[in-house]
Amino acid sequence: MRKKVWVIATIFMLVAGSVIGISTTNTSADSGKQKHNSGNNGKVKNVIVMIGDGMGPAYTTAYRYMQDDPFTMQMEKTIFDKHFVGMAKTYPEDSEENVTDSAAAATSMAAGIKTYNGAISVDNDKEPVGTVLESAKKNGMATGLVATSQVNHATPAAFGAHDVSRHNYNDIADDYFDDMINGKHKVDVILGGGTTYFDREDRNLINDFKEDGYNYVTSTEELLENENDQLLGLFAPVGLPKAIDRKESTPSLEDMTTAALEQLSQDKDGFFLMVEGSQIDWAGHANDSVSAMSEMEDFARAFETVIEFAKENGHTQVVLTADHSTGGFSVGRDGAYNFNPEAIKAAERTPEFMAQEITDGESVEDVLAEYVSFDFTDEELASIKEAASKNDFDTLYGAISEVFNNRAGVGFTTSGHTGIDVPVYAYGPKSEVFSGLIDNTDIANEVFGFLK
Ligand SMILES: [Zn+2]
């Protein structure tokens, strides 16, 4: 886009807008508000909380560039942009750190309190604090947790379990089965990765769930065939492969979300569902822009599915945000005023996947030629070969990622989290309560209000 054309086009749109009355600033949450005014009396029956783990504002901006149609003057709105309502503060209440981790932030969004990093819905006295999912179950509603990480990872864990540490994976998985509310299991639909933690030497939770009437599924096909309202789906030993690395037998986040909605929406008392795009964060930690955009796309598609459901339903409140940002992802780097999505789109698999193939014995040239549509420069090839010679997976993974980051104009400043505010999106009858600058605890506290 050349600047001059831009300016002329903008002036034209402004003039045309004022003359014939077109609004050029289609407001963000208007669709939600329209619902409010269109005959459902603003009643919330179902609540869907979506969390893009690590999805700070640079990720949603980069995703907009990725989605841009280069043949039009304006940069089109993404599914996120259409429902933007504000920003959220994410700081934890931790004696040593003031940038949050996923556990503390998820506790804030699930239980409405600030706590220390690593806490799974316990407060600073290590006492359990009730969550919105538990509140929904107490009200007789159906409940679900969907994630692309292991389902007992920090974010889903904070909704369905209580633990002094996010690292107690086995105990968290046990909680999903053992903690009963009114004689029932807390979570009706559990979908994600994590067979390692459910099928263990000391305990087989899969059998426990099956004995209590849950349908257990392990592939896309089985998931799509499910007709049971209690469902456990585990599709990987730990986290699912990244979206662009997945085989057809591994479901997308959209597939899992659709399957969850199908069952949960049959409960006449309504439902609570948490859906997490878990690995945007993992891509950020690895400073890998290709994986980050792969996971953004997976998450965006799940959001589209959720919005469609909510539009049809009319009594569903959707709120989507991030727990924090990861990696210090920047759109533009090294003084250059350019972000080039084509460099990222050239990868058909993640650098992680390619690094694995090379580690497994394939040649660097073969792997790059097979999965990347641009030609590597001699310098780029040399940097990857040099990394491959060190026999360290992370070094190789980093070297491949860096070629894409450099070509795309993506910078990273840390392998950890950053403390910047995160975007908030909403759709449904009560979307306005999430607008402006809110605190991450407001997410839970407003949802508690809907569930009353
Ligand atoms: Zn993280």
Task: Answer yes or no: are the C-beta atoms of 340 and 409 closer than 8 Å.
Answer: yes
| Distance of alpha carbon 17 from alpha carbon 340, whole angstroms | 31
- Please state the rounded mean pLDDT for residues 201-220: 98
Interval between CA 346 and ligand 1 midpoint (Å):
26
Going by DSSP bridges, is the β-strand pair 231-234/189-193 parallel, antiparallel, or unpaired?
Answer: parallel
325 is catalytic: no
Token output for 216: 């257990």
Q: Which CATH number fits domain 30-330+414-451: 3.40.720.10, 3.40.190.10, 3.10.180.10, 3.30.70.20?
A: 3.40.720.10
pLDDT, tens digit, 9 for 90 and up, residues 290-346: 999 999 999 999 999 999 999 999 999 999 999 999 999 999 999 999 999 999 999
pLDDT, tens digit, 9 for 90 and up, residues 330-348: 999 999 999 999 999 999 9
- The residues placing their C-beta within 5 Å of ligand 1, an ion, are 281
Q: Which residues contact 96 (CB under 8 A, 6 or more apart)?
A: none
The pLDDT-based confidence of 157 (bands split at 50, 70, 90) is very high
Task: Answer yes or no: are the C-beta atoms of 350 and 245 closer than 8 Å.
Answer: yes
Q: Which of 281, 311, 293 is nearest to 46 (CA)?
A: 311
Interval between CA 281 and ligand 1 midpoint (Å):
5
Going by DSSP bridges, is the β-strand pair 422-427/316-322 parallel, antiparallel, or unpaired?
Answer: antiparallel
- Please state the rounded mean pLDDT for residues 46-51: 98
Interval between CA 193 and ligand 1 midpoint (Å):
17
| Distance of alpha carbon 246 from alpha carbon 198, whole angstroms | 22
Q: 28, 102, 149, 265: which one is catalytic?
A: 102
Interval between CA 279 and ligand 1 midpoint (Å):
9
- The three-state secondary structure class of 279 is coil
Domain-wise residue ranges, the chain: 30-330+414-451, 341-408
Checking if the pLDDT of 4 tops 60, the result is no
Which CATH fold topology does 341-408 show? Diphtheria Toxin Repressor; domain 2 (1.10.60)
Task: Answer yes or no: are the C-beta atoms of 91 and 102 closer than 8 Å.
Answer: no
Interval between CA 154 and ligand 1 midpoint (Å):
9
Interval between CA 415 and ligand 1 midpoint (Å):
9
Q: How many CA atoms lie within 13 A of 202 on its CB side?
A: 5
| Distance of alpha carbon 122 from alpha carbon 128, whole angstroms | 4
Task: Answer yes or no: are the C-beta atoms of 191 and 256 closer than 8 Å.
Answer: yes
The pLDDT-based confidence of 41 (bands split at 50, 70, 90) is low
* Helical H segments across 161-218, by residue range: 169-178, 195-198, 205-211
CA dihedral 376, 382, 388, 393 (to 10 degrees): -60
The pLDDT-based confidence of 381 (bands split at 50, 70, 90) is very high
- The three-state secondary structure class of 145 is strand
Task: Answer yes or no: are the C-beta atoms of 274 and 134 closer than 8 Å.
Answer: no
Provide φ and ψ at 356, rounded to 5°.
Answer: -65, -45
Q: What per-residue string of b and e applies to 417-440 under the rule 16 or more CB within 10 Å gives b? A: bbebbbbbbbbbbbbebbbeebeb
- Please state the rounded mean pLDDT for residues 194-218: 98
- Please state the rounded mean pLDDT for residues 122-126: 98
Token output for 303: 């959001």
Interval between CA 40 and ligand 1 midpoint (Å):
39
Reported pTM: 0.91
Whole-number mean pLDDT of the chain?
Answer: 93
| Distance of alpha carbon 128 from alpha carbon 119, whole angstroms | 10
- The three-state secondary structure class of 219 is coil
